[in-house]
Structure 1
Amino acid sequence: MDNFEEIEPVSQHEDEVDALWVSEDVRSYLYETAKWTKFLAIVGFVFAGMTAIGAFGAGAVLNTISAVQPNSPLMKIGAAGLTVMYLLFAVFIFYPSYLLYKFSAATNQAVLFADQPSLSVAMSKMKSYFKFWGILTIIIIAFYAFAIILVAIGGIAMASR
């Protein structure tokens, strides 16, 4: 690990709130985390790009599917619908990757130059990253709950016939 200068806590006035002190161990953990998040962000950018490029091949995919299975449910969506769906999926891959990349860059800046504002930016990006996945998880859980309720209602309706 690189030699980092220890940052000593600054003396405080009575009206100041206790400052957070970042030890050498924490700095090394942040530095290593930044490397991994940069790697994951780049992989996410590649997958988002490949998904976006694949979105524009939706027409060709539907033509092939229609030749093999003319009654496929994908035919009802249409090429434009499939393209939009893939582009939305690419955005859902790109946005968290972007947040990870910004976290990585700001963390490197903070660790290498003992820059407190960069550490604040990094933590803000990490908060946004987890907030994004938390909201998406809530949406998916709500979707599953709704689907279970619909299946139960459908089952009850079928049983009462």
Structure 2
Amino acid sequence: MNVFTPKENQDLAIDFEAQGFLKETAKWTHFLSILGFVGVGLFVMIGLFVQSIFSKLGSVSGGMMGNQMGGGFIGSFYIVMAVVYFFPVYYMFKFSTKLKAALRTNDNLELKAAFKFLKSHFKFVGILFLVLTVLYAIVFVIALSAGALAFLA
């Protein structure tokens, strides 16, 4: 018989020790999510700063100084990264706040909502990791092909 098989009308019980672990987890995820929000803000500020600097350099030098599109691309890249980074940080923040509320009030619905946000966090991070891995593989194949073509030429 499997111990983890749910039976009809049986709720999962979280003992005192497990509650302590969850409280500590909620504190750390809250802390990490706050740091994540700060990071998102820094990414946005850096993106706007880079766009502004390259725009000013282009206007001061009459278009002779550097490529304005490069600065615009880099700045936009930082802003896009901030938007992408926002979602897992938001899900982690919501997990921590819902978990704290669930433990404070012994509310199973809040606990379920907290774990739903945790699932969303890991799902987003997993998909993002998969997409980045595929992109890295594509770049690697293109770089390898370009190197082979350069060697043959």
The answer to whether TM tops 0.5 is yes
Measure the CA separation in 2 of the matches of 1:53 and 1:159.
42
Q: Tell me what 2:14 maps to.
A: 22
Q: Share of identical aligned residues, percent?
A: 28
Q: Tell me what 1:113 maps to.
A: 105
Cα-Cα RMSD: 2.5
Q: Tell me what 1:126 maps to.
A: 118
Q: 1:53 to 1:114 in 2, by over 3 A?
A: same
Amino acid at match of 2:149: A
Q: Tell me what 2:70 maps to.
A: 77
User: Which range moved further: 58-67 or 116-125?
Assistant: 58-67
Tell me if structure 1 keeps the 8 A contact 2:51–2:76: no
Q: Tell me what 1:4 maps to.
A: none
Of residues 117, 137, 141 in structure 2, which corresponds to 1:145? 137
Amino acid at match of 1:47: G
Offset at 1:140?
Answer: 1.2
Offset at 1:61?
Answer: 2.6
TM-score normalised by the chain length of structure 2:
0.80
Tell me if structure 1 keeps the 8 A contact 2:43–2:81: yes
Question: Which sections of structure 1, spanning at least 5 residues, go unmatched?
Answer: 1-11
1:103 matched to 2:95? The reply is yes
What's the CA shift string for 1:28-62, capped at 9, x where partnerless? 11111101111111111122122223322223332
Offset at 1:65?
Answer: 6.7
Of residues 26, 42, 61 in structure 2, which corresponds to 1:50? 42
Tell me if structure 1 keeps the 8 A contact 2:92–2:121: yes
Measure the CA separation in 2 of the matches of 1:159 and 1:84.
35
What's the CA shift string for 1:85-123, capped at 9, x where partnerless? 222121123222211110011101111111101111111
Of residues 65, 78, 84 in structure 2, which corresponds to 1:86? 78
Q: More helix per residue: 1 or 2? A: 2
Question: Which sections of structure 2, spanning at least 5 residues, go unmatched?
Answer: 1-5
Measure the CA separation in 2 of the matches of 1:35 and 1:118.
16
TM-score normalised by the chain length of structure 1:
0.77
